[in-house]
Structure 1
Amino acid sequence: MVVESNCEIPENLLYYIDGKNTVWAKQESADTILVGITDIAQTMAGKVVKVRIKKKGTKVEKGKPVATMESGKWAGPVPAPVSGEIVDVNGEVEKSPVLVNRDPYGNGWLVRMKVANPEELKQLYTGTQAVQKLKELVAAEKISCKRL
């Protein structure tokens, strides 16, 4: 785990980084991933007050929303890191959205997806490359992470 300006960046995850939108994916099997937002994303959003997750069985393309979130200062989509089908949703996050802020890499996960094209996983940022890219975002946005 790398910590940059109080932001946790687990090195064992895959990252979808599109501008300020940062999503993590954890590979659970050859074709299944768990998806959530990064510590950096939850800090930039502020206290999350609403999470709407797409229904189980929904097919999504890479970059299209798997969920939408609202906080006091932000509302927007959470993009899918790869194309695939939502096979499970975290209902706890819809009931208690602040879980995303408190535990973004654990209980704050959003969806489990069946990956349509495993080649897309190779396009995500990993390891030192991911850490470097996220550190650059932290510096550019002058972010210091905090959990609620």
Structure 2
Amino acid sequence: MSDIPSDLQYVASHEWIRDEGDGVVAIGVTDHAQDLLGDVVFVELPDVGTEFANGDDIGVVESVKAASDIYAPLSGEVIAVNEELQDTPELVNSDPYSDGWFIKIRLSAPEELGELLDADGYSAVCESES
């Protein structure tokens, strides 16, 4: 079974969300997602200052198997991008919940946090896909 930290929140499209405080969250893809993708070779992320709505495409992860869209799990503005992924995209595979984060956003609709899955809910999503 994939690693599903209980201190994060999730969406069914396999992104995780970590509340950083002050209306800022970090976003990445889950261990389950990186496992399905295989070896990540490229990550395309939005520019700082980009605004998007919940569900918008915000980037692409390319692996040796396929290219997959990354979806915004919440509405907001990008305030930071993980620049390390340009040179070392494999961080998504080796450390998806820490060094492999994608972006940080300032929330424009904090109430959307209440719509996210907890670890148990996300685990049930993963089991239903097996």
Q: Map 1:23-102 onto structure 2 (within 5 A).
A: 23-102=15-94
Q: Secondary structure at the match of 1:108?
A: coil
In 1: Cα distance, 2:87 partner to 2:46 partner = 14
In 2: Cα distance, 1:113 partner to 1:141 partner = 29
**Alpha-carbon distance, 1:121 to partner:** 0.8
Q: Does 1:10 align with 2:5?
A: yes
In 2: Cα distance, 1:104 partner to 1:24 partner = 9
Q: Does 1:115 align with 2:107?
A: yes
Contact kept? 2:37, 2:65, Cα under 8 Å? yes
What's the RMSD between the two structures over aligned residues?
Answer: 1.3
Percent identity between the two aligned chains = 35
Task: Please give the TM-score of this superposition, normalised by the length of structure 1.
Answer: 0.83
In 1: Cα distance, 2:129 partner to 2:21 partner = 34
In 2: Cα distance, 1:45 partner to 1:62 partner = 23
Q: Secondary structure at the match of 2:123?
A: helix
| Runs of 4+ that moved beyond 2 A | 133-142
**Alpha-carbon distance, 1:54 to partner:** 0.5
Gaps of 5+ in 1: 143-148
Q: Does 1:135 align with 2:123?
A: yes
In 2: Cα distance, 1:119 partner to 1:54 partner = 23
Task: Please give the TM-score of this superposition, normalised by the length of structure 2.
Answer: 0.93
